[in-house]
């Protein structure tokens, strides 16, 4: 390592937070290439120098998988980029994904001591930089392995939770098989998150690495249908099962006109475009309706993904309709900011009451009411209340409903001894991920009802620990208190 000038705390604090280079809004709003271009080496080192290397780092507390943040940032300062990547991988095997899709401003960067006046260190952008650097210049070095223990673990779902769980268990000597219902691996990372936020090439690279270290991947396999959990355990010899099947049935608003042509759930709209590549139609066979005036209902990251996708498909106007105000929006600030730059219209405190049809059964207007905020509700956010007589119409020939998901019924239908709450979310013991069924664990959106990629990964790693403990001890506390998550 080269000798570097020693910077004082004051020097470090004088460096401004480095901006992420991006495609210009006017250009990117019409293509599917990644919006963020990533730091170059010089910028990464400069940003890394902003880290005060606190003796008692608080950033780690904000990370669901407790990445050794100051350690890897110090290695960036020393220009040991491959070493930094290795350091992150001690805790997170998928940094190029997390560096892109984690809400760092709510996690590690929220607990950075520099937050506020000096602005937090861009931990996420640095994570992304070292992961991309490693993919470009590094040789894939398999992590350290424990000898094979001959125990078979089935992971149901190849989304972030399943991948994280598999990466731990394979290193601990387990024989790990991931079952996927769709024809591609990655779960929400492949069908939900668009190319412009997470290029599929990166996902394929990460999955290939897991294949290289021995994780078996089986696609087109629906646990609960192709084989049940009992069959996996009793006939196929799996010693434990981790259920991370993700979100399920999309919610609709139960207002008139929801079945009109041109009205999609966010799941359908995004799956058509991302998984089925409808943006390449007719080269790809799956079609999508391209709206002139697109309206997306909802305020989360999925809504942002959908509205920006509609814009990229060629919409003249693309609008977010949300019943609360912008401060209550669950979407990441960066996504809201990017969307605004791309010309997305935000209609806050607006709630659809009806989708109005044209003479041929296509949606032509979203009838809405204006809302005002009242007292805080159960979520702690101020409750939106309709203003009487405030109805108005928004022109729309494409509507995407992005208000969340229920649970997938396929597993609970065929596994009667698996306890679920009234929404169908699988009940687990909070700390261990144990379900009501011996040897079966669960995590991710099927438990939480809908959260972030990194939380799902955290639960996957948590489940890996519990599975390891269960296999080693055979202990299964039948009196476990199972929690009732509220979606």
Partner 1 sequence: MNKILSAEFIAPDIKRFVIEAPLIARKRKPGQFVIVRVRENGERIPLTIVDGSPETGFITLMVQGIGKTTKTMNQLKSGDFVQDVVGPLGKPTHIEKFGFVVCVCGGVGTAEVLPIAKALKEAGNRVITIIGARTKELVVAEFEMRTVCDEVIVTTDDGTYGKKGFVTEALSAILNTDRKPDFVLAVGPLPMMKAIAEMTRPYKIHTEVSLNSIMIDGTGMCGGCRANIGGKTQFVCVDGPEFDAHLVDFDQIAQRQKQFVAQERISLDRFVHENHTCKLDSYINQQEKS
The residue ranges that bind partner 1 (CB under 8 A) are: 181-183, 191, 219-222, 225-227, 246-250, 252, 254, 258-259, 261-262, 264-265, 267-268, 271-272, 275-277, 280-287, 289, 361, 408-410
Q: 172: alpha, beta or left, given left = phi > 0 and alpha = psi -120 to 50?
A: alpha
Min CB(183)–partner 1 separation in Å: 4
Q: Which is nearer to partner 1, 118 or 281 (CB)?
A: 281
Min CB(69)–partner 1 separation in Å: 35
State the sign of the Cα–Cα–Cα–Cα dihedral 178, 182, 183, 188.
negative
Min CB(178)–partner 1 separation in Å: 15
Min CB(299)–partner 1 separation in Å: 19
Quote the CA–CA distance of 261 and 363 in Å, as a whole number.
Answer: 6
Q: Which is nearer to partner 1, 21 or 287 (CB)?
A: 287
Report helix, strand or coil for 83: helix
Q: Which is nearer to partner 1, 259 or 379 (CB)?
A: 259
Enclosing H/E stretch for 218: strand 216-218
SS3 content of the chain, % helix, strand, coil (to 5): 35, 15, 50
β-pairing verdict for 293-297 and 240-243: unpaired
Tell me whether the omega of the peptide bond preceding residue 98 falls within 30 degrees of 0, making it cis. Answer: no
Quote the CA–CA distance of 320 and 247 in Å, as a whole number.
Answer: 22
Q: Which is nearer to partner 1, 112 or 203 (CB)?
A: 203
Min CB(372)–partner 1 separation in Å: 29
b/e sequence 18-44, b meaning 16+ C-beta within 10 Å:
bebeeeeeeebbeebebbbebbeeebb
Q: In 10 A of CB 390, how many CB atoms? A: 14
Min CB(235)–partner 1 separation in Å: 11
Min CB(316)–partner 1 separation in Å: 19
């Amino acid at each position: 390592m080269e000798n570097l000038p020693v910077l004082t705390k004051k020097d470090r604090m004088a460096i401004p937070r480095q901006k992420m280079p991006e495609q210009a809004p006017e250009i990117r709003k019409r293509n599917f290439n990644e919006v963020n271009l990533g730091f170059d080496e010089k910028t990464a080192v400069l940003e890394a120098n902003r880290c005060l290397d606190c003796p008692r780092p608080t950033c780690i507390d904000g990370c669901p998988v407790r990445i050794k943040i100051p350690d890897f940032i110090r290695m960036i300062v020393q220009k040991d980029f491959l070493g930094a990547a290795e350091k992150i991988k001690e805790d997170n095997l998928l940094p190029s994904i997390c560096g892109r899709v984690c809400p760092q401003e709510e996690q590690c960067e929220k607990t950075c001591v520099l937050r506020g006046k000096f602005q937090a260190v861009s931990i996420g952008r640095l994570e992304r930089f070292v992961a991309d650097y490693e993919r470009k210049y590094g040789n894939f070095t398999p992590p350290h392995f424990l000898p094979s223990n001959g125990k078979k673990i089935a992971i149901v779902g190849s989304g972030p939770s399943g991948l994280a769980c598999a990466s731990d268990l394979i290193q601990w000597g387990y024989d790990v098989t991931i079952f996927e219902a769709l024809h591609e691996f990655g779960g929400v990372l492949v069908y939900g998150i668009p190319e412009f936020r997470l290029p599929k090439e990166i996902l394929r690279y990460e999955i290939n690495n897991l294949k290289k270290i021995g994780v078996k991947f089986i696609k087109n396999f629906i646990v609960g249908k192709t084989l049940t959990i009992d069959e996996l355990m009793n006939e196929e010899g799996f010693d434990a099962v981790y259920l991370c099947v993700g979100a399920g049935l999309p919610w609709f608003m139960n207002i008139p006109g929801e079945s009109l042509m041109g009205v999609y759930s966010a799941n359908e709209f995004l799956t058509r475009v991302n998984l089925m590549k409808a943006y390449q139609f007719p080269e790809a066979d799956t079609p999508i309706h391209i709206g002139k005036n697109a309206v997306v209902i909802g305020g989360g990251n999925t809504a942002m993904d959908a509205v920006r996708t509609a814009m990229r498909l060629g919409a003249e106007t693309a609008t977010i309709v949300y019943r609360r105000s912008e401060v209550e929006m669950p979407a990441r600030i960066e996504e809201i900011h990017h969307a605004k730059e791309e010309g997305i219209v935000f209609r806050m405190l607006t709630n659809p009451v009806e989708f109005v049809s044209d003479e041929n059964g296509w949606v032509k207007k979203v009838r809405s009411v204006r809302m005002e905020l009242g007292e805080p509700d159960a979520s702690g956010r101020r409750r939106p209340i309709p203003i009487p007589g405030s109805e108005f119409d928004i022109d729309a020939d494409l509507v995407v409903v992005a208000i969340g998901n229920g649970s997938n019924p396929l597993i609970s239908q065929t596994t009667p001894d698996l306890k679920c709450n009234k929404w169908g979310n699988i009940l687990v013991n909070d700390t261990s991920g144990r379900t009501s069924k011996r040897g079966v664990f669960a995590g991710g959106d099927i438990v939480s009802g809908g959260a972030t990629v990194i939380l799902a990964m955290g639960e996957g790693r948590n489940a890996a620990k519990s599975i390891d403990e269960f296999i080693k001890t055979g202990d299964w506390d039948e009196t476990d208190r199972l929690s009732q998550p509220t979606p």
